[in-house]
Structure 1
């Protein structure tokens, strides 16, 4: 996959997955808290939604797709996560709690005032800052070795450790996956 394609798919994932993660978190937390308050029982639907949301969140944080996905999600979650603290600082109501249905509003307010939106936003932003996620994968150059008659080996062989005895070369394909030389 080319680098441009990887980043384009990252933009698509960054625009689609964070709203799904937010809705799943809001519904799951809201459903669990409402069921616990009303009838003191566990909501399996809310728990299932939270598990599915955790899988989507892990895909955003750890995927090799593109760091643009976690960057866009991190900016959105950080923006929402800063609202309660700005609200407390300037004493003006900034969090819209009447826009969402009751099941989502309860989870949204719980996550907002507990600071978990900010935590998720910062985690997503930090996950997108690693330089290795921005680089494309490098393919090693291969050259044909005449003694293997068509087998391909890396152009650069790994350096031999000065502390280990010299190892004989691999004798065939069955020796290629062995971790140590065996007689």
Structure 2
């Protein structure tokens, strides 16, 4: 896969997956919280939605598609996670009162005011900062016999399947 297509897929994944992760996390946590508070029972649907959101988050953080995906997601989660902390720290009212339905609002308030959204955002930003994720897969080196030293080096690959996993040639 070329770098251009890899980064284009990263932009698409970075724009589509973080909102799905956020809504799944908010709904799952809100459903678990409301169901356990009202009926003293565990919401298996909420647990399944949180688990599915965690799987998608792991894909976003660990895939080799492009670090742009985790960078866009990390910027969004960090900004959204910093808003409630600014409200608490400075006493400002930044977020509207009723901008989400009941279950989603309860889940958002739980994960936002505990700092979980900010944590997820910083993790995604840190994952996208590794230089190895920005490099494409390296092409294998080709050793030309014209440049080979007169004596065979033990570090160069040897002909034959038995030396494929050995670090040095043994006679």
TM-score, structure 2 length as denominator? 0.85
Shift of 1:68: 0.3
- Render the CA deviation track for 1:40-69: whole Å, top value 9, x for unaligned: 111111111011101000011111000000
Stretches of structure 2 lacking an aligned partner (at least 5 in a row): 146-152
Residue in 1 that maps onto 2:69: 69
Change (3 A) 1:170 1:19: same
Residue in 1 that maps onto 2:22: 22
Residue in 1 that maps onto 2:149: none
Shift of 1:141: 2.8
Moved over 3 A (4+): 142-145, 169-181
Residue in 2 that maps onto 1:126: 126
Count of residue pairs brought into register by the alignment? 164
Shift of 1:94: 1.1
Q: How does 1:1-183 map to 2 (within 5 A)?
A: 1-142=1-142, 159=155, 172-173=160-161, 176=164
Is contact 2:154-2:168 (8 Å) kept?
no
- Render the CA deviation track for 1:47-97: whole Å, top value 9, x for unaligned: 110111010000111110000000000000000111112112331211234
TM-score, structure 1 length as denominator? 0.80
Is contact 1:15-1:73 (8 Å) kept?
yes
- Render the CA deviation track for 1:102-161: whole Å, top value 9, x for unaligned: 11110000011101010000000000000000111111133588xxxxxxxxxxx7738x
Is contact 2:28-2:47 (8 Å) kept?
yes
CA distance in 2 between counterparts of 1:144 and 1:128 reads: 36
CA distance in 2 between counterparts of 1:53 and 1:116 reads: 14
Shift of 1:177: 5.8
Is contact 2:15-2:69 (8 Å) kept?
yes
CA distance in 1 between counterparts of 2:133 and 2:25 reads: 26
CA distance in 2 between counterparts of 1:112 and 1:92 reads: 16
CA distance in 1 between counterparts of 2:154 and 2:112 reads: 51
Cα RMSD after superposing both structures: 2.5
Stretches of structure 1 lacking an aligned partner (at least 5 in a row): 146-156, 161-168
